[in-house]
Amino acid sequence: MSIASLHSTEFAVGQRYLSDTESELGLGVVIDVDDRCVHILFPQSEETRVYAKNSAPLSRVVFKVGDTISDQAGKSYTVSAVEEVMGVLKYSVNEHENGAVSKGIMETRLAANITLAKPLERLLAGRIERSDWYDLRQDILRMQSALAGHPLKGLMGARVDIIEHQLYIAHEVGKRIAPRVLLADEVGLGKTIEAGLIIHQQLLTGKAERVLILVPDSLQYQWMIELRRRFNLNFALFDLVRTAAIKEHDPEQNVFATEQCVIAGMDLLLDHPDLYDQAMEAGFDLLVVDEAHHLHWDEAQGGNDKYDLIADFAEETAGVMLLTATPEQLGAQSHFARLRLLDPDRFDDLDEFIDGQDAFAETAAVASLLIEDKPLSDGQITALSSLLTISVDELATINEDEKLRTYALNELLDRHGTGRILFRNTRESVKGFYGRSSQPYPLPLPEAWVDSYQTNGKLREQLWGEENQPDG
């Protein structure tokens, strides 16, 4: 069997063709031809296709002498000769059961169950596609493979001008499996962009599939718009109206199981225990909490309601990101408690944490020398030895041994201070940012707002949440 080129073939009713793009349709027959189109019936699949004559993805089927063919009754024959009658092929055949008997079969009567789905069959039949298409597919596969293994996969394509410190944090955190970090850059240095890049990379690389973002009510729409506009991430905003609509449609449905990526206000879960239970039951791979400085805790009274809420989710969620520009706003105890949410095994004793903070200056000085690739004095080597519980003899070659310096630096990060959990940049350390200056403009209070819901109750708490803080 061979496949004839369409460029040298005129369509005629009764001719048989295979579809180049849908070979599973079987052997088709031309049932109508007009000036512009050709109509093909595929009896095997009972489908009819209409193609433009000058660009039809069809191949003419021509059997050669010696090929075996079958008619519509299922009988098999061997082709002994081929001739063309008014554009339609006529095969002279011999019956398999009695090779001496010869007769003619028009191609119109051939069985329709011929397919060339297997690669070897297509190759032997001469159905080989253009080499430039193969080259294109090969190039695409190479590019996909390169992108899949690129170290910045998930960090490219965002509609942001990424600054160096943002890229470093996003890359360092995003490549982790179930990252648990506190992003504490100063106001205006791009914590939301860093968090968006990390979320994007976690979703794109498959490290996370379900993400829950808990924010103050006033920031819900801002987060939803930023993620959609900058990172093309579709997050569903869950408020009381949406959750009530889902429950009304299906009272048994877990509302948080209807979406993979959710933004919700913390107050929604605090005020509605049933929604809290459903969110906990649905489970998430990554939890993101903005304005985390509102999570207050002290040794005497424990945590406030928001801290307890996040503590419950942090215990059940593998990845946790807390965002705040003022990590120590509510004191060292609250700062310690937020770090404990991320790594309860490391931060398990408040007094030890405070003592470690006081002695951190020495650790930071040694780490700075290692980072800047400067030599350590004998006294600093001795100090490093006590910090790492490694003998001085083992550190004797640290000024010449690059691997030993890298090992020592990594050990310092993992054993002392906040390690790889806290990321903080300040405007003083990150150059190129303009300062911010407040220019308040007082507005008179409308008479209709006096003693109304705009200036009292829940709305006031949302608009001026700082009034409820200890330093408010």
Query: Which pTM value belongs to this model?
Result: 0.62
> Residue 354 pLDDT > 60, yes or no?
yes
Mean pLDDT score, 264-268: 93
Give the pLDDT confidence score for residue 8 in this predicted structure: 43
Give the pLDDT confidence score for residue 55 in this predicted structure: 86
Q: How far is residue 148 from each of residues 138, 151, 298, measured CA to CA in Å? A: 15, 9, 46
Over residues 6-46, the pLDDT tens digits come to: 434 589 999 989 887 887 788 899 999 998 899 999 988 88
Give the pLDDT confidence score for residue 310 in this predicted structure: 93
Give the pLDDT confidence score for residue 463 in this predicted structure: 67
Question: Domain residue spans in the chain?
Answer: 15-128, 164-348, 359-414
Mean pLDDT score, 168-176: 85
Cα 435 from Cα 257, distance rounded (Å): 43
Give the pLDDT confidence score for residue 2 in this predicted structure: 53
Give the pLDDT confidence score for residue 309 in this predicted structure: 93
Q: How confident is the model at residue 262 (pLDDT cuts 50, 70, 90)?
A: very high
Cα 400 from Cα 403, distance rounded (Å): 9
Of 259, 262, 324, 320, give the one whose Cα is nearest residue 295: 324
Beta-carbon count within 10 A of 311 CB: 18
Give the pLDDT confidence score for residue 270 in this predicted structure: 93
Strands 58-62 and 16-19: antiparallel
Cα 61 from Cα 378, distance rounded (Å): 87
* Poorest-pLDDT segment among 143-157, 195-209, 407-421, 456-470: 456-470
Q: Which CATH architecture has domain 164-348?
A: 3-Layer(aba) Sandwich (3.40)
Q: How confident is the model at residue 187 (pLDDT cuts 50, 70, 90)?
A: confident
* Poorest-pLDDT segment among 73-77, 207-211, 418-422: 418-422
22 burial level (CB within 10 Å; 0-12, 13-18, 19+)? middle
Mean pLDDT score, 253-267: 93
Q: How confident is the model at residue 5 (pLDDT cuts 50, 70, 90)?
A: very low
Bigger pLDDT: 328 vs 214:
214
Q: Which amino acid is at 237?
A: L
Q: Give the CATH number of domain 15-128; options: 3.30.930.10, 3.40.190.10, 2.30.30.140, 2.160.10.10.
A: 2.30.30.140
Q: How far is residue 161 from each of residues 112, 156, 204, 465, measured CA to CA in Å? A: 59, 11, 20, 32
Mean pLDDT score, 262-281: 93
Mean pLDDT score, 147-172: 81
Of 193, 188, 147, 146, give the one whose Cα is nearest residue 174: 193
Helix (H, G, I), strand (E, B) or coil at 98: coil
Count of residues making up the chain:
472
* Poorest-pLDDT segment among 270-284, 348-362, 436-450: 348-362
Give the pLDDT confidence score for residue 98 in this predicted structure: 59
Mean pLDDT of the chain: 83
Cα 256 from Cα 246, distance rounded (Å): 10
Q: How confident is the model at residue 276 (pLDDT cuts 50, 70, 90)?
A: very high
> Residue 1 pLDDT > 60, yes or no?
no
Give the pLDDT confidence score for residue 116 in this predicted structure: 55
Mean pLDDT score, 49-69: 86
Q: How confident is the model at residue 214 (pLDDT cuts 50, 70, 90)?
A: very high
Q: How confident is the model at residue 211 (pLDDT cuts 50, 70, 90)?
A: very high
> Residue 118 pLDDT > 60, yes or no?
no
> Residue 263 pLDDT > 90, yes or no?
yes
Mean pLDDT score, 288-304: 88
Highest mean pLDDT range out of 105-119, 179-193, 358-372, 379-393?
179-193
Q: How far is residue 112 from each of residues 50, 129, 196, measured CA to CA in Å? A: 18, 23, 55
Domains 15-128 and 164-348 share a fold: no
Over residues 432-450, the pLDDT tens digits come to: 666 667 788 888 888 888 8
